[in-house]
Amino acid sequence: MRCRPSQPASKTPGRRIDLMSNSAAATPRTPASPGPDSEPVAITLQLAQPYLSSAQIVRLCARQRREELPEVKEQHIRLLAAQWINAVGAALQFPIRTIGTALMLFQRFHLFNPMADYLYTDTAAACLFVACKMEDTNKKLRDILIADYNLKHPDGPEINPESSSLEEHRRRIIGLERRVLQTAGFDFRGRHPQNSLIKFARYYRVHKDVASKAWDICVDAYRTFAPFKHTPQTLALAALLLAGKLATAADGAPLEFDQIPFERFHTTHANVADCVHDFLELYIHHRQMTRIGQDIPLERFMELQIELNRAGHVMQDVKVPVLETDGRAENGLDKSGRHEVIRYILDPERQRRERHAMEDLVMEG
């Protein structure tokens, strides 16, 4: 008999003591507070930046890349991690929002942390656990690890939920949790294209088969950097356009670029075209690791990419603020070794007000 993930248990005093004693060693140590005679603490305001440009993504990927892990292998590991998250999420019956959030967290984590320094399964487990908290999916980390074990050993032997090996693995993942949150900027705002896709499908009255294929394309989009470059409505429009091109004649006339009032949907022609280009790149080079790529000939994707380029759809980046994370030190210390306190802020206006207030204090001092 296989071991099944446990149901959420009530918090008992014994359980609380066990967690406090076992997880303390695995949790990253917080830097000691500076004393009254120590140097001043450096305070940095970090604005959450949900969107990045293509140039920023390329620069961040190049900065984290190691010689022993070339770009092609990095991309393969990203897709393996996506498969892991999808498989474990499906086994636990997670909603698509939770799985999508975990995929975006994994992609963002390795924009700021070298992939060669981490086991992709550990990072994927940490991202899935954080995604459960962000999307209010009630599952424990132990349940995620047990589901992973059951997928790897479908014929047994069963694992003991209280085994030392499982507990050691759990503590290792908890040690990654804070770093995942830091790279996400503690930004818990969900940005998923599914709601926009449903509205657009109804608005344009597309065939249900086209809408279903567009849904799968939106799920595959989490395997790319498109969610970091484009808004949910841009992803949804791009998915509908590509799904219409891939549909048969029986599914009706496909949606065309000239039918979309881009300004009304707060996007641009170039951004939607860039998003479609990212989807086609995924399907051309990695279609075996996607939801719809295996059902469509490779030649069809290549024909659509040539058609997109010939149509003269100019691609450009989403205009986003410049990254403020370049050169950021870790563990609460800045480059000079002084203690650094990072305040994560979601509102740009509040960041400006606090920055001006800090500058005034420095001038007065």
- At residue 339, the 3 state secondary structure works out as strand
Check the CA dihedral 325-129-291-201 and report its sign: negative
Q: Residue 3: pLDDT band by 50, 70, 90 thresholds?
A: low
Q: Residue holding tokens 């949804």?
A: 236
Share of the chain above pLDDT 90, in %: 55
Element (H, E) at 89: helix 71-91
Q: Which of 285, 307, 361, 346 is nearest to 79 (CA)?
A: 285
CA-CA distance, 99 to 220, in Å (whole number)? Answer: 11
Spatial CA neighbour of 327 closest among 105, 46, 73: 46
Work out the pLDDT band at 15, boundaries 50, 70, 90: very low
| Over residues 245-259, mean pLDDT | 81
Question: How confident is the model over 328-342, as a mean pLDDT?
Answer: 47
- Residue tagged 């809408």 (tokens): 211
Average of per-residue pLDDT across 91-106 = 96
The arithmetic mean of pLDDT across residues 260-287, rounded, is 93
Determine the Cα angle at 135 with ends 130 and 141, to 5°.
40
Predicted TM-score (pTM) of this structure: 0.78
Q: What domains, with CATH codes, occur in the chain?
A: 52-183 (1.10.472.10), 194-310 (1.10.472)
Are 2 and 158 in contact by the 8 Å Cβ rule? The answer is yes
**Average pLDDT of span 313-320:** 48
Query: Among 76-85, 88-97, 151-160, 259-268, which is the least confidently predicted range?
Result: 151-160
Residue 8: what pLDDT?
45
**Longest pairwise C-alpha distance within the chain:** 77
Upstream peptide bond of 157 is cis (omega within 30 degrees of 0): yes
Across 76-82, average pLDDT: 95
- The model's confidence at residue 42, banded by pLDDT at 50, 70 and 90, is low
The pLDDT-based confidence of 250 (bands split at 50, 70, 90) is: low
What end-to-end distance do the CA atoms of the chain give, in Å? 69
> For 210-227, what is each residue's pLDDT tens digit?
999 999 999 999 999 999
Cis peptide upstream of residue 31 (ω within 30 degrees of 0): no
**45 within 8 A of 186, measured Cβ to Cβ:** no
Q: Which amino acid is at 318?
A: V
